[in-house]
Amino acid sequence: MTHPMAETSQSPNEDEYHLKLLSIFYYIVAGLTALIGCFPIIHVLFGLAMIVVGAAEHRAGPLPILGGMLFTLIGGVVFVIFQAVAVCLLLTGRFLQSHRHHTFCLVIAVIICFSFPIGTVLGVFTILVLVRPEVRTLFGTD
CB atoms within 10 A of CB 53: 13
Q: For residue 27, tell me if it sits in a domain.
A: no
- Domain containing residue 128: 103-142
CB atoms within 10 A of CB 68: 21
Task: Assign 52 a pLDDT band (cuts: 50, 70, 90).
Answer: confident
Percent of the chain past pLDDT 70, that is, above it, reads 88
pLDDT the model gives residue 55: 74
Q: Reply yes or no on whether the pLDDT at 113 is more than 60.
A: yes
Same domain for 63 and 109, yes or no, is: no
Could you check whether the bond before residue 117 is cis, i.e. omega within 30 degrees of 0?
yes
How far is 121 from 81, CA to CA, in rounded Å?
A: 21
Angle (deg, nearest 10), helices 12-36 and 63-98:
170
Domains: count for the chain: 2
